[in-house]
Structure 1
Amino acid sequence: MDIKEIQNLIKFVAKSGASEVKLEMEDIKITIRTGSDKTETTIVQAAPIPNMHQAAAPVATQITVPVDSNVNTESNESKYITVKSPIIGTFYRKPSPDKPNFVEVGTAINVGDTVCVIEAMKLFNEIESEVSGKIVKVLVDDSSPVEFDQPLFLVDPS
């Protein structure tokens, strides 16, 4: 199970309203507990034995990750649409240092307009808007690292 599948599971559980979900597979155990103010995920995974000549049981590693229960990362104003990062990488507001920003607050955008660039593994990926509207807020600083599904911009579709 990869990190993307775990993130999707956490979001699904938080949205479902379940108080606790346990998932056990051959080499991994995941417990997700939701409360009134936070969601907590515990992942227990069997680690390989460093020296294969020893006859010992696998060592279990446990990671507890607090996660905001508010999975919907949109602004308090529900009329805004959030443009999110489709990949992990470094966020850039302009195509090159000597060029102007793709968009500013107040810029009108259409579906397919480039709003930023995200560099991942030396590849510069142009991120296109999937909505039309006006940029209300830029949520990430230029040259900052971003995660998958991290909010980048708020757009007013009206």
Structure 2
Amino acid sequence: MAEKKTGIDQALIRDLANILKDTDLTEIEVEQDTLRIRVSRMGPPQTVQAYAPQMMPAMAAQPVASAAQPVAAAAAVAAPVVNGFTLTSPMVGTCYHSPAPGSPAFVEVGQTVKEGQTVLIIEAMKTMNQIPAPRSGKVTAIMVADAAPVEFGEPLLVIE
């Protein structure tokens, strides 16, 4: 018991720090009897790296269609609200038009859909989430490209 009061095992702390470095973890905690040691690396540099790639594809996805597309998309979103329903993304992820690469799309512009019919898939955290049509009607616009990143609340398609 006298050993626990006199100091902390610095070799153990060094070993834990090496484990963090070798495994790219940001934090590790070890508990033995009444001794608890937590070693943590500074998170902000990794956080900046984690958020930058998520932001860049979303920004890059908008100009892909055309330089005028964001203005046209804003006008298209405003107009269909009166004449139709704009389906927005319920989550952040990657939007797919078909169930698998090379498969036909769930829906096309001009196609009539029934309420509950799958119209898109959004992949989030390695999970494929089917997005159902919230109501029956005719698809008048698909506002996202296949395999494009989407944000929460982003317009996906318009149903009249």
Call closer, same or farther: CA 1:72–1:136 in 2, change over 3 Å. Answer: closer
Partner of 2:146: 142
- Tell me the secondary structure at the aligned position of residue 148 of structure 1: coil
Instruction: Please report the TM-score for the alignment, with normalisation by the length of structure 1.
Output: 0.51
Residue type at the aligned position of 2:117:
D
More strand by share: 1
More helix by share: 2
Partner of 2:120: 116
The answer (yes or no) to whether the contact 1:106–1:134 under 8 Å persists in 2 is: yes
User: How do 1:45-64 and structure 2 match up within 5 A?
Assistant: none
| 1:105-147 per-position Cα deviation (integer Å, ceiling 9, x unaligned) | 0110111000000000110000001111000010001110000
- Determine the C-alpha separation between the residues in 2 that align with 1:132 and 1:120: 26
Percent identity at matched positions? 40
- Determine the C-alpha separation between the residues in 1 that align with 2:110 and 2:123: 25
Instruction: Please report the TM-score for the alignment, with normalisation by the length of structure 2.
Output: 0.51
Q: In the comparison of the two structures, how many residue pairs are matched?
A: 87
Q: Residue 75 of structure 1 is aligned with which of 78, 100, 110?
A: 78
Displaced runs of 4+ in structure 1, greater than 4 A? none
- Post-superposition shift, 1:73? 7.8
The answer (yes or no) to whether the contact 1:74–1:81 under 8 Å persists in 2 is: no
Q: Which residues of structure 2 form unaligned runs of 5+? A: 1-41, 43-73
User: How do 1:26-65 and structure 2 match up within 5 A?
Assistant: none
Partner of 1:129: 133
Bigger Rg, structure 1 or 2: 2
Q: Residue 151 of structure 1 is aligned with which of 139, 146, 155?
A: 155
